[in-house]
A and B are shown apart, each in its own frame.
Chain A
């Protein structure tokens, strides 16, 4: 059980980093990025190509150190976001969603068909896990990787919290609430939106790289549109606009996802086992709907921030106003 929990929390931590990235884009800036998985894929593949062992028929396999892979993944995802942003960021809400969704699918299909770079449907295997040689047992390594993910998540959380509380972060919220008003105050809206998109994408790329480093294998099947949906669910359920909510959402949604499977497998009589998958999907949907019915703003809603000196006194009224907006 302990070994499973270590594994579980590692995966949750990796997801949480991507959810914080999405929170920066949607929760704070109001960018509807429906192509989260595309940035995970860019990060994951960049990491795999930079750190993987050399292969006869492939480009890449540079056997670079772990940290180079991580840095490369972040930079590549941010660069991807830059290109995407320049092309599409003038679009508002639903149009941006459609475009980003399409681009994520394009990235997945490109990975599936670029045998020379990604290994196509066979994927890339044997990607080295950082410092594995130092650990004798898999259990000890599991603890180490959980620690690595936890520290990374901590840094990401602290960093993003600092950013959104800075003047720059306040501009993001202003854009989210009223773009025209922000513009009339002399803010370059497009530039801020682009920066938020890139920063969020960088975190998603980091998440993708950590996942590939953990599983030591990558294939296009890791990046199907359902992953975007899962990450969105984590954010909305945990509490959009709140980074602690993002982390909590990753924990709860993944617990529902994997716990429901265990529940169904243990409760169903053997003859019905093959139908268990459908029941699990129903259970996942039901739990998500119920949670949102009773906690429409997510498990932890957004904090009210007018000034850090008045938080808690006049906050209640403002919170309500925001609720109707969301």
Chain B
């Protein structure tokens, strides 16, 4: 009996010990919560994202911290399991008293955290990586309370820019071939919606599964309706196969491509001479000084190039949240932080970039009471009313075997397009 009770008490004591261990650093500290998927199938991606988040925290501390206090980043693993993620979030909010939380990766975990922990507790949640359109829907329904933000562009942003270019090119009847993953499905749906709103038509929506040797059947289905162009959503390997078969079976060479296909692999596999009327969009932040600064810092710290999903977006998620916390003041609650999230990226503000110098400049300017505009490792960006990130879009095309940048749709142009698409009946 005593052994049994001793064991139970021991296990419970060990479990609760974790809660008591308060920060032991000198001076004041500010807690910032983090939840990412550090183990399981997405563990490798998640660890790199977690390391990058810690790099951002270290730079913020080196730049002086939030209101002179060190930032204590409490990172928890959701193991890719919603129940574990929600529990960790509840602990961070109720026990560690965080007022802002970075996370998480999977939409299936971020969503229950938002609706059952952060939004009811009025804690600001900023995700680097959840792309599900459900969050936008929740925000429109008023269920997020405005506490939800994400630094990863939604599929809608890419789809609207592509649809706009399709119409500008004078193409009116477009067949859509898309990869059958949640990314492809959402993107294709958004593209169809945008095309209709902007005055074009989609003739066929044909999904294809990954890693097949041939997509003849899918291509033939897409060809079955008269069309003047094709939108291809996929990744280089399968995308090349689809494009080759499409062209060889007599499909239109008026092509719109998603940003993953802006790759040399795709260009060589399909053949440059067939692609002289291929267009696409990308996020415009691919070349800005703040992006290069981040890439240099990353290379210096981890000794490898800054490539991989979520790395750039998590850096911006951490920094923009920290700046908002700084702007909101020493004892700010989640609501105070929420209200500052858009102000630290004000369009007419003083521009500050990434790295220790950039963050220090931004912190000092906020302390001095000036309006600032943080331009991040993903370039300039804004949050719309639903907490979704918007940014300028870049239009490119292929000419004589080269990728050429055609023009940039600035944020005003993008916002105008969003307004038109959102106003149109679904």
Contact = CB atoms under 8 A, between A and B. Distances in A.
A277 B43 contact: yes
Interface stretch (B112-120, B164-172, B400-408): B112-120
Interface string B18-56: 110110000000000010111100010011101101100
Interface stretch (A66-74, A92-100, A170-178, A214-222): A214-222
Interface string A2-21: 01100110010000000000
Contacts of A278: 38-39, 43
Interface of A: 1, 3-4, 7-8, 11, 121-123, 125-126, 138, 211, 214-217, 219-222, 224, 226-227, 248, 252, 255-267, 270-271, 273-278, 280-281, 287, 291, 294-295, 299-300
B111 A123 contact: yes
B69 interface: no
16 contacts: A11-B83, A121-B107, A126-B138, A215-B115, A216-B115, A226-B79, A252-B8, A257-B87, A259-B16, A259-B18, A261-B91, A262-B95, A265-B76, A267-B21, A277-B37, A287-B11
Interface in B93-120: 94-95, 106-109, 111-112, 115-116, 120
Contacts of B90: 4, 7-8
Contacts of B116: 214-217
A88 B56 CA distance: 54
A274 B4 contact: no
Contacts of B120: 138
B11 A291 contact: yes
A216 B53 CA distance: 30
A214 to B, nearest CB: 8
Contact of A275 (B12, B47, B84, B111): B47
Most buried by A among B22, B74, B91: B91
B363 interface: no
A276 B38 contact: yes
A214 B143 CA distance: 16
Given A215-B115, A277-B38, 14 more contacts: A121-B132, A125-B134, A217-B116, A226-B79, A255-B15, A261-B76, A261-B88, A273-B34, A274-B47, A274-B54, A276-B75, A281-B79, A295-B4, A295-B7
B17 interface: yes
A289 to B, nearest CB: 13
A252 B18 contact: no
Contact of B77 (A227, A266, A277, A291): A277
Nearest to B58: A270
Interface string B65-76: 000000001111
B54 A276 contact: no
Contacts of B94: 1, 3-4, 7
Interface string B138-162: 1001010000000000000000000
Nearest to A272: B54
B182 interface: yes
B64 interface: no
A260 B22 CA distance: 15
Contacts of B37: 277
B291 to A, nearest CB: 23
A281 B77 CA distance: 10
B14 interface: yes
A77 B7 CA distance: 36
A59 B22 CA distance: 49
A260 B112 contact: no
Interface residues of B, number: 65
A48 B215 CA distance: 38
A267 B79 CA distance: 19
A121 B108 contact: yes
A129 to B, nearest CB: 9
B19 A219 contact: no
Contacts of A216: 115-116
B12 A221 contact: no
B81 interface: yes
B17 A300 contact: no
Contact of B7 (A7, A126, A294): A294
Contacts of A214: 116
Most buried by A among B51, B82, B111, B138: B82
Nearest to B25: A270
Most buried by B among A8, A121, A215, A277: A277
A266 B87 contact: no
A123 B108 contact: yes
A275 to B, nearest CB: 7
A271 B54 contact: yes
B200 to A, nearest CB: 23
Contacts of B106: 221
B54 A270 contact: yes
B336 interface: no
Nearest to B33: A265
Contacts of B417: none
A258 B15 contact: yes
A291 B182 CA distance: 41
Contacts of A294: 3, 7
A7 B76 CA distance: 18
Contacts of A226: 79, 81
A140 to B, nearest CB: 12
Contact of A281 (B39, B46, B53, B58): B39
Contacts of A257: 84, 87
B204 interface: no
B121 interface: yes
Given A126-B143, A258-B84, A265 B4 contact: no
Contacts of A256: 11, 14-15
Contacts of A126: 138, 141, 143
A257 B85 CA distance: 11
Contacts of B112: 215, 217, 219, 222
Nearest to B38: A277
Contacts of A220: 108
A11 B48 CA distance: 31
Contacts of A8: 87, 90
B60 to A, nearest CB: 12
B80 to A, nearest CB: 8
A219 B82 contact: yes
Contacts of A258: 15, 84, 87-88, 91
Contacts of B12: 252, 255, 259
Nearest to B55: A271
A276 B80 CA distance: 14
B133 interface: yes
B259 to A, nearest CB: 22
Contacts of B86: 215
A266 B51 CA distance: 17
A300 B108 contact: no
Contacts of B121: 138
